[in-house]
Chains A and B, each alone.
Chain A
Amino acid sequence: MAHGTLGVLLLLAAWEVIGTYRLVGSTWPSISEIVVFAASPSRLALYGRALAATAEAVFLGYLVGAAAGLAGAALVALMPASRITTDITAAVINATPPIALGPLFIVLLGHGAAPVALAALNVFFVIYVSVNAGLHAAPRARHDLFQAFGASRGRTLLRLLIPSAIPHFLTGLRMAAPPAVIGAILGEWFGAPRGLGVLIVSAMQNFQITLLWGAVMLASIVSIILFAAFGVLERVAIRRYGD
């Protein structure tokens, strides 16, 4: 933990130095410049509106994506024969560049849906893979025990497979944080009314470098907070459900 904090501090210090002395040119502002720039009431309100829109998309994306990921993993657990089909479908969806999917979502779901849809898609894949792994995590000795006690498939799922998968599910929620935020921002590029993604695109097109980096920083902070919060839950789950 101490090493991690030190690493972050070093990174931030390097960023500040590079920005202050323009070591890599004018497109790299220092952190203090970004903070001072953002600290005016009108800009705070601008960032706030954008953050609220993106956070909402990330939240809904998590809900939809996690539910879909759990449903996919449950399908595979109940019908092992479907595994190959489901795995390949999930992998193909994940391998398709989201840029190509954005227009598709606009056609299918309407203009405002792309941020939630792309966030959900990214969350889905991570949750599907991690829960699938979790459902196979119970050691052989425990399966043998359940079989010897005559447990049905349903009771084995309920009392062995699902509890064994809980820590993996939370690992999945943690790992899904950055992809969820990136998905929401990318989705906002397809004509969302507001959001950090919208701010990033318009700042880029108008060469407002400091505004751009402020939005990027906010997006990173959202990622990091989610990542850390799910990390805490994950550790609790491992303490309870792990050996």
Chain B
Amino acid sequence: MHPSEQTGGRASHSAAISIRGVSKSFDLKGRPVAALDSISIDVADGEFVALLGPSGCGKSTLLRLMAALEEPSSGIIEIENRPAAELARSHRLGVAFQDHALLPWLSISDNVALPFRLAGLAVDHARVNELLSLVGLSEFAEARPKQLSGGMRQRASIARALALKPDVLLLDEPFGALDAVTRRHLNGELQRIWQQNSITTVLVTHSVDEALYLADRIVVLSGRPGRILRVVDVPFGRPRTREMTRSAEFHHLCDDLTDALRGLAEEVRAA
């Protein structure tokens, strides 16, 4: 697709992802347990939305529903006005999870090229090389995943998610298992990469800082069953800088959201 066409498409701000009254319950030893309750969100084309909530609030479940890895118990999820599963089936979805799920028998370069092979397309080696340099792994193209650090593996998994220039990118705590310094660094890189590609993105996180730094909009979910508690528009322009994270406004929002989460965490413990 030509870049200007892409921008034109985004200007209309149609909902890329439309979630309508979605509930999800799981069967736990024959007893239904509600994970999500009446969730409705619209994500605009090209928007970056963070799902923020305490652990166990069902935010990962919501992401799995968007990826059509699970079916909602009730309600509808549509992506580009079609059932969510069609996006995955037509190879236009990119995903990166906390478990990088790189295949140990493939080199980093072959792992990044995997989406081409799974879609039955000829591997675009120029694209693979471009992505490897985008995430700073050009020198490790022929390395095996186990030879790389945790942060490098996550970068490879993000490069893989972007391989086919997906319409939608779903990220589930991709940096969740990393130390704070690496995580902050990778968040900076993720923002840079995202700005170059501007894909509709949903990020699941339990880090307020991360959500504020990366997202256009933050959806705060309550504890189990997950309900939408608040939707916060992030007022900062892009590119976001580390200086911005030291501003009074950032701190104020950060405190506000942290308080909201702490309240939720106590609720969950009491329940």
Chain A interfacial positions (CB closer than 8 Å to B): 139, 141-142, 144-152, 155, 159-160, 163, 240-243
Chain B residues lying within 8 Å of A144, measured Cβ to Cβ, are 64, 67, 69, 95, 97, 101
Q: Are A148 and B105 in contact (CB under 8 A)?
A: no
Partner of A150, one of B89, B97, B105, B170: B89
Partner of A148, one of B95, B99, B104: B95
Which of B64, B101, B120, B146 has its CB near the most chain A CB atoms (within 10 A)?
B101
Q: Are A163 and B103 in contact (CB under 8 A)?
A: yes
- Given contact pairs A146-B118, A151-B118, A159-B103, a sample of 18 additional A-B residue pairs in the complex whose CB atoms are under 8 Å apart: A139-B99, A139-B101, A141-B99, A144-B95, A144-B97, A145-B95, A148-B69, A148-B93, A149-B91, A149-B95, A149-B114, A150-B90, A159-B117, A163-B105, A240-B105, A241-B104, A241-B105, A243-B104
Tell me if B41 counts as interface (CB < 8 A to partner A). Answer: no
Tell me if B88 counts as interface (CB < 8 A to partner A). Answer: yes
The 8 A CB mask of B79-122 against A (1 = contact, 0 = none) is: 00000000011110101010101011100000000110111100
Q: Are A149 and B104 in contact (CB under 8 A)?
A: no
Partner of B115, one of A149, A152, A240: A149
Q: Are A150 and B104 in contact (CB under 8 A)?
A: no
CB-CB nearest in chain A for B120: A155
Majority-rule SS of A interface residues:
helix
CA distance A159 to B115 in the complex (A): 11
CA distance A146 to B97 in the complex (A): 13
Query: Across the A-B interface, how many residue pairs have beta carbons closer than 8 Å?
Result: 62
CA distance A142 to B91 in the complex (A): 16
CB-CB nearest in chain B for A148: B95
Q: Are B119 and A150 in contact (CB under 8 A)?
A: yes
Chain B residues lying within 8 Å of A150, measured Cβ to Cβ, are 88-91, 93, 118-119
Chain A residues lying within 8 Å of B64, measured Cβ to Cβ, are 144
CA distance A243 to B144 in the complex (A): 10
Q: Min CB distance, A40 to chain B, in Å?
A: 51
Chain B residues lying within 8 Å of A243, measured Cβ to Cβ, are 104, 146
Partner of B88, one of A141, A148, A163: A148
CA distance A190 to B146 in the complex (A): 52
CB-CB nearest in chain A for B116: A149
Q: Are A160 and B91 in contact (CB under 8 A)?
A: no
CA distance A155 to B101 in the complex (A): 17
CA distance A240 to B89 in the complex (A): 30
Q: Min CB distance, B176 to chain A, in Å?
A: 13
Q: Min CB distance, B50 to chain A, in Å?
A: 19
Which of B67, B104, B117, B119 has its CB near the most chain A CB atoms (within 10 A)?
B104
Chain B residues lying within 8 Å of A146, measured Cβ to Cβ, are 118
Q: Min CB distance, B135 to chain A, in Å?
A: 17
User: Can you name 25 A-B residue pairings with CB atoms under 8 Å?
Assistant: A141-B97, A142-B103, A144-B64, A144-B69, A144-B97, A145-B95, A147-B68, A148-B67, A148-B93, A148-B170, A149-B93, A149-B114, A150-B89, A150-B119, A151-B118, A152-B120, A155-B117, A155-B118, A155-B120, A159-B114, A163-B103, A163-B105, A240-B104, A240-B105, A243-B146
CA distance A144 to B120 in the complex (A): 18
Q: Are A145 and B90 in contact (CB under 8 A)?
A: no
CA distance A204 to B118 in the complex (A): 60
Q: Are B117 and A145 in contact (CB under 8 A)?
A: no
